[in-house]
Amino acid sequence: MKKIKLAKKKKIILAVTSLVLVIAIGVGIFVGVRQSNKEPIKVFPFEQVGMTEYWGDSQESYGPVTTDKIQTVFLSTTQTVTEIKVAQGDMVKKGDILMTFDTTLDDLALERKRLAVEKLKLQLEDAEKELRQIKAMKPMVIPTYPETDVDEDTDYGMALTDPYQVSKNQAYDGSSQEKSLICWLNSGTSVDASLLEALRQVASSYQNANVEPEPSEPSEPSEPSEPSEPSEPSEPSEPSEPSEPSEPSAPLEPSEPSEPSKPAEQDNTESQSAQQPPSSASASSEQPDDPEPIEVTNYYVIFKITDGNMSLGSRTLWQGFHVSGTISGGFRFQFFNANAIPDHTLIQSDDEYDTQMPEIDFGSGYTAAQIAQMRSEQEKKIKELEFEIKMAEADYKIMQTEVSDGNVYADIDGKVVSLLTEEEAKQTQQPIMKVSGGGGFYISCSISELEKEKMVIGQEVTVNDWNTGMVYTGTVESMGDFPSADGYWNGMGNPNTTYYPFTVFVDETADLQAGQYASVTYSAGTSENGIYLQNPFLRTEKGQSFVYLLGENGKLEKRYVTTGKSLWGSYTEILSGLTAEDMVAFPYGKEVKEGAAAVDGDVSELYENY
């Protein structure tokens, strides 16, 4: 296995490579065209301006590095080598001392690292608790009004031709939600300040009219009717004793009807006496008869719009407003839920409109879509915290080893295959020594269920060491048949799919470190054979694509091609009309035309002005 070096490859995995070439062509070739001066048109081998294999879009995963029969010893910035106990080529046994060192790392620094790990774990607990709360949230449900079947014989009532119509029932004077005015709006009418002012005046009129019954309160002065109680002291009738001289009229006693005349007189006197208290009461009631007009500055109204502006049409709007203010000072309003308030403008039968309009279930105050987004973001946060904890724990374990007894021991039986000086190791970020027993490195990753079937054992992947930044080539060693227990924490794809584990092997020539992390870039699909030409070499005329290429007679030939899919915005698939053996010309410039002289060109010339 060798470290990656730049080389020409027919397999193009990353779109970046193609983009750089396209930019280079766009900048450099135009200069070459202007300087052509009728020189022969240069043509280039297809393999230099196209590709014959497409390995799909790349995907990335990452995971921890483990070792098998290999040990790499890295130095930290706090370590200083005191003695190297072995030489390159030596054979060692497990447990042998390889080197000794001093360190400036102390127990306090180690404790701070431990506390940092614990802090991350507490953050994870809080995040998981918040996720449970989000999952328990009840979404706000906005009801939809039930649809009614349309019947041609249905009576939809009268049509609203005016801009609006206000309910006539003065009992609903806008003084409370239950007594809201109802304003039936024409669907083409907008609610503005003039309409709100008109409704305020209606509310003021109704409320002032409803004040009249209030004078019934002065009925309290009816208490003076208590003088009627003095009617009990009919004793004052004693003065009627002087009427004794009328005893001669005793013969009239048989005429009992005359006696009722006395009660009549008493009724008259009583009515007169009774009239006197009410006269005072009426005097006191003269003020309520002419009350101060009420200045309404806030009122309740329900705006209603019906289907087709028909009085009995289904409601398309039924919204309560609590309005305050005046036309001069401006209006303010707040919504209120009017679903439970009946429409008193309709004549309802006993069995009609029994069902109330559905109410809004506010629940948590968030819609289902908002809760789903919150849940997704929180799950992502949890996965990131889990990864941070794994990274922090890996660093903590390495630090624990450093503050041990100042010795580095052999972990395996093997051979010292490389040994550097302390200065070289720190400058190059390579291990100061490596012991090999014929093994290598393993990286545990995961792949989406959507891509699993496209990955094959032995497939090459690119490995990037996060510790040193070095890049290596690895191979897929194995793939699991059961979903990963870690979810997608070591994958960078869609978190809503199931992920399966796979293991990448990197041979002993790599300088990876156990416990550290590395990313793995892999093709998401098998290769697709075909012809893919860079877009600058392809032109279109009247909806047909064509290229200029070297003809049989050494002259340029204009050939129409059939195109397929586009890759990364830089390549176009050629289904017919071009082969991988053709020589292709850059199709721009006054001299580029069919029959023009052609000559072999060097693709490096495309970059000379870039």
d(CA 430, CA 508): 13
Predicted local distance difference test score (pLDDT) of residue 2? 40
Residue 250 has pLDDT above 60, yes or no: no
The pLDDT assigned to 149 comes to: 53
Mean pLDDT across 280-299: 64
> Is it true that 11-55+528-607 and 62-102+406-523 share their CATH fold?
no
Look at the block and give the residue holding tokens 């024409």. Answer: 186
- Distance, CA of 488 to CA of 598 (rounded, Å): 55
Structural domain spans, the chain: 11-55+528-607, 62-102+406-523, 106-139+369-402, 142-148+156-212+294-360
pLDDT band at 6 (very low <50, low <70, confident <90, very high): very low
Give 99's pLDDT tier (boundaries 50, 70, 90). Answer: very high
List Cα–Cα distances, 456 to 477, 478, 514, in angstroms. Answer: 9, 9, 26
Q: What is the DSSP letter of 57?
A: -
Task: Specify the DSSP class assigned to residue 80.
Answer: E
Query: What is the average pLDDT across 476-503?
Result: 72
Does residue 302 surpass a pLDDT of 90? yes
Report the pLDDT averaged over residues 61-84. 90
Identify whether the C-beta of residue 160 lies closer than 8 Å to the C-beta of residue 184: yes
* pTM exceeds cut of 0.85: no
> What is the rounded distance in angstroms from the CA atom of residue 575 to the CA atom of residue 52?
12
Asked whether residue 18 carries a pLDDT value surpassing 50, the answer given is: no
Least reliable range by pLDDT among 181-195, 316-330, 476-490: 476-490
pLDDT above 70 (res 278):
no
Query: What's the rounded Cα separation, in Å, for the pair 241 and 222?
Result: 32
Given this model, what pLDDT does residue 248 score? 43
Sign of CA dihedral 97, 99, 101, 106: negative
pLDDT at res. 495: 58
* Confidence tier at 489 by pLDDT (50, 70, 90): very low
What pLDDT is stored for residue 409 in this prediction? 92
pLDDT at 89: 93
Hey, which CATH number is domain 62-102+406-523, 2.40.33.20, 3.40.50.150, 2.60.40.10, 2.40.30.170?
A: 2.40.30.170
Confidence of residue 502 (pLDDT cuts 50, 70, 90): very high
- Give the mean pLDDT of 447-475: 88
Q: How far apart are CA 320 and CA 299, in angstroms?
A: 11
pLDDT recorded at residue 251: 41
Burial tier of 365 (Cβ tally within 10 Å: 0-12, 13-18, 19+): exposed
What value does the mean pLDDT take over residues 559-582?
A: 85
Give the Cα separation of 429 and 413 in Å (integer).
25
Give the mean pLDDT of 401-427: 89
Positive or negative, the CA dihedral 32, 38, 39, 40 is positive
Residue 323 has what pLDDT? Answer: 92
The chain-wide mean pLDDT, for the chain, equals: 76
pLDDT in tens, 353-400: 444 555 566 667 778 888 888 888 898 899 889 888 988 888 888 888
Q: Name the β-bridge partners of 165.
A: 184
- Report whether pLDDT(449) > 90: no
What is the structure's pLDDT at 360?
60
Does the domain spanning 11-55+528-607 belong to CATH 2.40.420.20? yes
Of 146-160, 444-458, 528-542, least confident by mean pLDDT is 146-160
Are residues 295 and 204 in contact, defined by beta-carbon separation less than 8 angstroms? yes
- Mean pLDDT for 317-323 is 91
CA distance 459 to 520: 12
| pLDDT at residue 95, as a whole number | 92
Q: Is the pLDDT of residue 87 over 60?
A: yes
Q: What is the pLDDT of residues 503-540, one digit of tens each?
A: 999 999 999 988 888 999 887 554 455 788 888 888 88
Higher pLDDT, 419 or 38: 419
Percent of the chain with pLDDT over 90: 25
At CA 232, angle to CA 226 and CA 233, rounded to 5?
110
Q: Tell me: the pLDDT tens digits for 211-230?
A: 865 555 555 555 554 544 54
pLDDT, position 395 = 84
Distance CA 196, CA 181 (A): 12
pLDDT of residue 163: 92
DSSP 8-state class, residue 525: S
**Of residues 260 and 200, more confidently modeled:** 200
- 606 or 563, greater pLDDT: 563
pLDDT at position 107, please? 82
What pLDDT score was predicted for residue 42? Answer: 87
Cα–Cα distance between 196 and 301 in angstroms, integer?
Answer: 10
pLDDT in tens, 325-343: 888 888 888 888 888 888 8
- The pLDDT of residue 153 is 59
Stretch 32-46: mean pLDDT, rounded? Answer: 68
pLDDT tier for residue 54 given thresholds of 50, 70 and 90: low
Q: What is the pLDDT of residue 486?
A: 58
Phi, psi (rounded to 5 degrees) for 183: -110, 110
pLDDT over threshold 90, residue 541: no
Per residue in 172-194, pLDDT tens? 999 999 999 999 999 888 888 89
Confidence at 496, pLDDT banded by 50, 70, 90: low
Q: Are 121 and 392 in contact (CB under 8 A)?
A: no
Q: Which long-range contacts (CB under 8 A, 24 or more apart) does 349-353 make?
A: none
Inform me whether the pLDDT recorded for 131 exceeds 70: yes
CA angle 127, 129, 130 (to 5 degrees): 65
Check residue 347 and give its pLDDT. Answer: 56
